[in-house]
Each structure stands twice: as structure tokens, then as C-alpha cells.
Structure 1
């Protein structure tokens, strides 16, 4: 019996040590969030590079090999290869990964607008393979939008693996999106502004720091593998050499705004037509888009002697920046790219519209550059300068991200000489496009799917509500002292509904928390009760100030996995508790249109009274 008693005592001590280790050594959620942010930056950089190589490999094996066929067979192969690629992609999107359809940015926006912020890793992996197949076979789509979904899905999966709360998993979505854009465009600064403008929608400081870190890390990974050179190589540094050209730059901005409206309207109209018709099954519709794209690509190669209709067309964009394309080729390529992208995307393909919008802008800008040469007798470099500005203006009118549209052109070319023309043209395109079509393209696509983003309305409502407006609860709940034995607490009558027990020192300062989870562990081994005090099992002190918002309290509850939190006044005194049910009730009351300022909710709250009395 003596040896058994000694063994039991040793096991009890070991259990006590293990419990302390678990409660005090395990990383907090904030620490896990920071570590995952670093990991996401690296992982997304590698994923974007893998996607880049995957598309390049598919292009070499499919479309480029098709147009190199002997004799006139290249015409047939060039037309059928995008169609067959679209057919294969349509089958995969129908039966394997239906959520991989489209560009990927709308999916990320929907996930971020929800409270869970979840994207499936399966959809991200499927996006990589299906988009590689379709773009590589000749579809007129870009890789940048899919990269956003791929990296955001990867970030969401890592957040689940790290056991983060739904709120923090949601915060990782823009982190992944920024890392994806930074690696896809080799443009970390533009990636940050794009994420703020298009995904987050505001300067959320809790998200911004992670976005910056992940974008920088992803860009470092991308540059270490693909090189430090910009995406587009320009033959010379462009600049504004004649102020008279500003008039044409402003006109280019207006033309780009009209082009972007035609482009987005064409996408939405063709998409609606494809969905409305009943003759072609949805899994075969991408083949129709591929057939149209293939025919236009072959026609451009046959009559114009140049590619660019298929894929992103970046090599042809570089030619336009060098002023090597005549006006006729610029205009015809721009129209062909417009039609091909509308059919490739609207038929249900997997790919983005970033690159096509840049391509069309370069063609339009090059044409304006030729006009500038004719009117003001400038040199051939004018065509490249106008092509560059046209890229930014069309991107701005299409995507509606004005800051990003300026910075992305600067980073894509590593040139700053055209900042003023870029700002003038981009703002002209943005204002005109927004005036003609107030709803941006991604929101319009979602509305066509029956999804209406509420711009985080519920979260904003919680952020505006303060704890001081709510009635205090739990002022009479049980409180512990650091030296209090756990056995005494287990034997005492625990108030019904209390899940968190504040541990207060002699000065009534909050020094820790004990939850029913710790008590449940002790109940399984009553012999540990007399050996363990509250200071042994308590968690670090977590509380919320009386002047904080309900959103702050809710985020903290989820981050720490606590059903309720202590409310502290400015002097550090415990006022009461706030739980999820109280937050939900306050939100429902605030959302009720019948609630009026003169109702009971407008009366001084018990929290305010308690704060005044102290």
C-alpha cells in the first residue's frame, strides 16, 4: 500500500506539472497568428511560382505545340486546342471543383464578408490545375485572379490547421490575397493597396500589418526564383516631355473608361446569355469560349502575324511598350482580345481578367501614342509611354482600384516618370466608369449569382456599439484568490451559468482566469484538488475595457475561446461580465428598425451607473 500510495503521489505531481505546462507554455492565439502570417507569405510565394511554371509548361505542351503543327494543320490544331482545353476544364469544374470557376477574387470577397472566412483547400488546388489547363490550352484569361484564390485558400487552410478562431481565420484571407498578388505581379506595394481597396475595404489595422509582411515575403520568394527583373521590360525610361500631351492622356483616360464599361458589360451580358440558354450543357460551355478564342488567335497569327489573343499576352504587351506594333495591329488585337476574353470568361472558365484588361489598355494606349506622334511630332517612345498609361487606366476602370492601378504600373515597369499622366488618365477612367456603371465588376458578378455583399454591415454595427451602453451582468459571480485551493472551489456552490472565474489579488486586481475546462480536468482526479491552487491553473488575465466595442469583445472571446469576459473600468476594477448571448441580443436590438432613441436602450446603462458609482 505504501508503494502504491507513493506511486499515486508521483503520478499526481506529474499530472500537475503537465497541466501547468499545457496552460502556460502553449503559444497564445496571437503568437500562432503571427507565425502563420510568416508561413503564409512563404507558402503563397512558392504556390504562385508553382502556378506560374504550371501555366508555362501547359502552354508549351498544348497551344504552342498546336500552332507549330506541319502545313495547314496548325490552323485546325490552333482552333481546336482551346476548345478541347475548355471542354476538359468544364468537366472538372462541373463534377470535381465547381467552386474553382471564375477569376477567384469574388470567392475571396464572399468568404471575407462572412464571419467564418472559410475557403476550401480543395478548391484552391483545383483552381491551380484547372486554370493551368485552360490558360495553357489557349484561353484568353490571366493567372493573377486565380492566384488570389489559391493563396487565400491556402491561408484559410493553415488557419484551420493552427486552430485559430473563425475571426482570425477570416483575417488571414486578405493576408493570402496580398501574398498572391505580390507574387503574381512581382509588386508587393500594389498588392497591399489592392487588398485594402478590393478585399478588406478599409484600413483595418489588425489586418494591415499581416498583409504587409506576407506581401513582402511572397515577393522575396518570387524574386529569388524568377529573378528581380520587372514583369515588363521597357526599352527606356518614359517621362512627360511635353505638357501638351496631358490633353491626350486625359482623353486616353476617358477612352479607357469607355473601354472598361464595354468590357464589363460584355462579360455580364454574355455570362447571362450562357446561363439562360438550354441547348449547351454548362460543362460544355467553356469549350464554346475556347472555340471562339482559338479562331480569333489563329486569325491574328494568320493575318497580323502576332500572338497575344490567347493567355495573358504579356510578350505582345512588351512589344507595344517598345513601339514596335503598327496602329492597325494595335486596334485589331485590342478588339480580338476583348471578344476572346468575354467568351473565355463568360462561358464559365477558370481564369482572371487582370491580364486581359492590361493587354487591352496597352493596345488602346499605343493607338493614342500614334496620335500623339502625329499631332505633336514626338518620337517613337510616345507610343510606349501611352501604352503604359493605357494599361493603368483600363485596369482602373475595370477593377475600380485607383491606388492600385497607379502603383501596379510603376512596379511592373520599375519606372516613375509617368506618375502625373497615370494619375490623370486613371482618375478620368475611374470617374467615367463609376458614373456609367456604379457597381464594380466583382460585385456585379456576385449579384448575378444572387449574392449581395453587405460590406460587413453586422461587424460594423458591433464595432459601433460600446460595452458602456449595455446592462452589467455577473457582478455577484464567484471570484477566486491566487492561494485558494482548487478543492475548495470544487466543493463550493458554483453559480449557474458561470464559466469563467476571475482571480483577484489582495488589491482586487485581475491576475488570471480559471475556466470550467480546468475544473473539469481536476474533477477527473480529485486527489489533485488539495495540491493545486488557483495560481497553478489560472490562465493569463484577459479582459475588456468598459469603453471598448462589442466587436472587440467578440473577437477576444473567439481568440481566447472564452464564452464570457470580465469587464474592467478605467481604474482596473471588475465591473461584471459580457457573454456572447448579450452581444447577440444587443446586435438584434440595434438592427431592429423599431428601436428608437427614446426607448429603454437609450437610458443610462447599469455599466455606466456602476462606473459612475466607483
Structure 2
């Protein structure tokens, strides 16, 4: 209760500087909570893996360079006898526990994919309970801990998002603040569990869109991710997840990384189609109860794990083997496709887990395979297996999730190796260019304009009811046709404005000039070239009585960022200027007034009361 009262003291004020301080503090709180949840998830997942696979299944699984265990419980349990391939039954048991727990105890936690978080953001989900948070911690331990092919990223993102939503409801925060805390939760959880705070923050703001970002939340996301990562790494160490040798970049390798980017794009598309078909067409149309559907997926998994147990769980240890160059070409090829099927059966049937870790596995194998193939033909590629494996991870992650910046930064942080930044940039750019029209997350929209939560801010119908006279700036800085181009640059440095109307001695508009026009003039001629020599004489104007919608359409049509406002009766007499920023400002004011007045978007009479 004391903590709640303290937080209320923070949120009950609404001054601008208090608002900034409030989000700073709440970002820290979310970071601490999501970091604690990540510690609990990591510990329990490791514990269940030891019980299911090592103790019950008798299956030794290699670990990656930076993953540690707090406990070794299997060594303290009584020995049991094992029959051959007993480990193949573990995923079925774990999947059955997953389905029963969801059906009877926590139906709201029925999916742990990252797509649930994306959908929650775009559809303004408002509820989260402590039961859901704890269920989302336990469920992946059943699925992934028993050997199901899935990852920790989906559950961690969902746990963090649920924490953010729960806290925002507890404190009765605004819709915008709720979305920010949701992002903070995702950033904190992902940044901690992958020991990549920068990558976790970028993931949280980038995964929501195919071609956009939630940039307003980036600072709170950074804060939450830093706090969460610091807490998590204090317990499990600061060593990156994967150990990689030093890589010395050579331009000769660029062709190989380019080919890897293309291959990652092709396989990403194949995986997305396979995943969607398995999830929607096979398990979605079966009509099987959620109690038994994950177990059915685990049964489909049995033939795969009997031959290739490497695909069980997250498989980070086997990725480490690929980085070290210890896997032969044939095994690399087979593991790529077996992991695709195994993940589709596990997650597509309703198992609790994400596709991030499987994408790391597939991408790592693909990168190692590409290095082996090039190395067998070109000697200069010999010894570059580790770099190609790392770059393959980032390229394949980009291909399925449309997160190029996240992939570059997070993979470099997960490997503790920034020598591969240039190769990562090369492959990721190519993959993104070839796959940005597809995604494994159905709720991921193209940009902010297509997001329901931002549609109100960007909707053009509001602008129909606002006149230009309500938004334009009457204080116009003008130039004379006889002014020099150097004067334009001086004004730009003084005001920051990129364009200026040009008027004659009678105050009539005769043209418009922009900084872009001046930048084409050689520096030594700036003082001699006059404004009249380079100004545009085709002046696009708008009248005070026109709507902002009409003004915006003119800007879009002619590709300009400002309009000269002139008198309707005298089109050459300038009375002001209207910029895109003026329209955005008017739109935001209108949206806030609509919300505060609780009126429908079509009723705009109150807007003119301020005049």
C-alpha cells in the first residue's frame, strides 16, 4: 500500500516537467519488475529443462558460451533408468501440461507469441492480471523446458507487456502512458533475457510496424531496458550469450554476405508460409480442444526429434557449435528445415513460446552453411564460419520479423562482437528489402497511419472542419528578389526555416525560395547570385477560408512543406505562411479537445470558441 501511495503522488500531477519525471520513474519501476520476471523465467526454464530433458530424458544438451545455471538439480535426484529415445516423450508431457493449464487456469495466456503484444498495442488492450503474469512465466517452462521448439522472447515480451498494462491500470494512467509502459515492459524483458539492452529497446519500438517505429517511447524503453538488464546480468553474469572469435572484415567477403542476405530472404518467406499453414490450416481447422492441441503438435514433433534432437528447445548450444565450425554441411542443411517444421508444430499448435530463438537457430545454421559452401570454392572465405553464422542470425530474424535495426544491434550484443557490424548491415539490408512485405506477426501493421491507436491522430477528416485561418502563422519572414543567396543561408541559421516567400517592393508575392535551392549554388558564388535567379516562380498558395485538409492535399500533391497564405480577393498579397508543423499542431489540439469534450469527431463547433 505504501508503494501504491508513493506512485500515486508521482502521477497525480500533470505539469509538463512532472510528466517527464513521472515517466522516468515509472520506466525504472517497469524495468525492475520485468527484470525480476526475466530472472524468474530464466531460472525456472533452466530448472524444467534439467528435469525434463537431462533427468527424465537422459539427453545432454550443449550450452552456449554465456548461458549459466544457478542450480544443478538433476545431480541431487535419485537415478532412474532410461529406455532408448525416452527424451522424445518429454515434449508431449510438457505440451499436455501447457494445454491443461491454459484451459483450466489461465485462458487469457493462451498464446505467448510476440504477435499478442503487437495486437495488444494496436487494439488498446486494457486488462492484465497477476494470474496472467505468473501463468506466462510458468507456461513456457512446460513447453520449452520439455524440448518444444520455441524461444523465450515471446513469453518475455508478453510478461513485460502485461506488467506495463497492469501497472498503468493500477495507477489509472492515460492511454498514451499505457502504451508507453507496455513498450517499456517489452524492452525490459527482451533486453534482459538476451543480455542486449540496446537491442531490447529497439525491438520494443520497431516490432510494432513493418516500416515504422514508435519513436516517442524510445527514451522510456532505453531506461527500462537498462534497469532490467543490469538486474538480470547481476545475477547471471555479464558474458554475452554466444562466444565468437575476433573477425577481421575483408571487402572480398561482401559478396558472400550479400548472397547470405538473399538466401535468408528466401528461407524467411518459406518459413512464414509453413508456419501460417501449420497454425491456421492444420491445427486451426482441426477442431481439437486447447487442452490437447499442444500435445498433438508435440506428437507431430516426435519423428523429427528421434532423428535430430538438436532441434529441441531453443538450441542455443547447437548455434554455438555452428559458430565454432563444428557441424558438417549435410547436418547444417537438414537442421535448417527440421527446425522450421519443429517450430511450426510447437508454436503453431498453441505451445507457449516465441519464434525469436528458432530464427536465431535457423539463421545461424544458414550462415555457417553459406560460409562452408563459399570456403570450399574460395580459400579467402576459410575461417569466416563464425562471422557468417552470426550474420545469418540477424538476416533471418529480419526476414521474418521486419526488425532490421534490432537485428543488427541485438545480434552484435548477444555475441559481444561488433566486428560484424558491416557484414550485418549488408545482409540485413538485402533481406529486409526482399521481405518487408511479409511478416510472421499478423498484427504488425505497415506504419503508424495504419495503427488504430494512431488513426485518430492522423485521420484527415478532422482537418475538414478546421480553417487555414485557425492555424497559419501571420509573422512571415520574407526576402527580396535582390537579396543574395548568402542571405537565405543566414536566415536559415537564425530561424531554422527551410523556405521563404519572395516579395517585391509593393509586398506582392513573386516567388518562393528554399534552402535546397541555395545548396545547389557553389559556395564562392553565394554572395553574387541573387534570389531572383534561382527562386521558384510557381507559387502554391492557400486562402484563409480553405480547410486544412485542402491545404494538406496541396502539400502532398506538389511535394512541398509549406504554403503561402494569401488574401482571397487579392491573390498576390501575402498574409501568412502555413507549414506541415502548423497542421500537425492544429490536429493535435483538435484531437485533445474532442477527447476532453467527449464529442464525436464530426462535431467541431467548439473549436471556434477560442477565437
Q: TM exceeds 0.5?
A: yes
Q: Alpha carbons of 1:463 and 1:250: their partners in 2 closer, same or farther (altered >3 Å)? A: farther
Q: Which of residues 38, 58, 64 in structure 2 aligns to 1:48?
A: 38
Equivalent residue for 1:168? 177
Equivalent residue for 2:28? 38
1:345 has 2:330 as partner: no
1:195-254: CA deviation from partner (whole Å, max 9, x where unpaired):
2211377555642221111111111111111111111111x112323x232212111111
Corresponding residue pairs, total: 465
Kept after mapping to 2: 8 A contact 1:361/1:392: yes
Q: Specify the SS of the correspondent of 1:163.
A: coil
CA distance in 1, matches of 2:339, 2:319: 12
1:330 has 2:332 as partner: yes
Kept after mapping to 2: 8 A contact 1:111/1:119: no
> How do 1:339-378 residues align onto structure 2 when only pairs under 5 Å count?
339-378=341-380
Structure 1 residue 350 displacement after superposition: 1.0
Q: Alpha carbons of 1:443 and 1:277: their partners in 2 closer, same or farther (altered >3 Å)? A: closer
> How do 1:276-287 residues align onto structure 2 when only pairs under 5 Å count?
276-278=284-286, 280-287=288-295
> How do 1:511-522 residues align onto structure 2 when only pairs under 5 Å count?
none
1:398 has 2:400 as partner: yes
Structure 1 residue 102 displacement after superposition: 3.1
Q: Specify the SS of the correspondent of 2:366.
A: helix
1:216 has 2:226 as partner: yes
Q: Alpha carbons of 1:225 and 1:588: their partners in 2 closer, same or farther (altered >3 Å)? A: farther
The alignment yields a C-alpha RMSD, in angstroms, of 3.3
Kept after mapping to 2: 8 A contact 1:323/1:383: yes
Equivalent residue for 2:141? 132
Equivalent residue for 2:297? 289
Kept after mapping to 2: 8 A contact 1:102/1:352: no
1:53-97: CA deviation from partner (whole Å, max 9, x where unpaired):
111000001122233189994444212110111111112222322
CA distance in 2, matches of 1:194, 1:100: 22
CA distance in 2, matches of 1:341, 1:579: 47
Q: Which of residues 456, 459, 473 in structure 2 aligns to 1:458?
A: 456
Q: Alpha carbons of 1:52 and 1:552: their partners in 2 closer, same or farther (altered >3 Å)? A: farther
Q: Which of residues 226, 243, 246 in structure 1 aligns to 2:236?
A: 226
> How do 1:452-531 residues align onto structure 2 when only pairs under 5 Å count?
454=452, 456-461=454-459
Q: Which piece of structure 1 moves more, 121-130 or 393-402?
A: 121-130
1:23-55: CA deviation from partner (whole Å, max 9, x where unpaired):
999852535443222111111111111111111
Q: Any gaps of 5 or more consecutive residues in structure 1?
A: 1-22, 302-307, 473-544, 556-577, 590-600
Q: Specify the SS of the correspondent of 1:157.
A: helix
| TM-score, normalisation: structure 1 | 0.69
CA distance in 2, matches of 1:219, 1:317: 23
Q: Any gaps of 5 or more consecutive residues in structure 2?
A: 1-7, 60-78, 471-581
Equivalent residue for 2:523? none
| TM-score, normalisation: structure 2 | 0.69
Structure 1 residue 297 displacement after superposition: 2.2
CA distance in 1, matches of 2:179, 2:587: 18
Kept after mapping to 1: 8 A contact 2:462/2:602: no
Kept after mapping to 2: 8 A contact 1:152/1:176: yes
Kept after mapping to 1: 8 A contact 2:147/2:313: yes
1:186 has 2:186 as partner: no
Equivalent residue for 1:108? 117
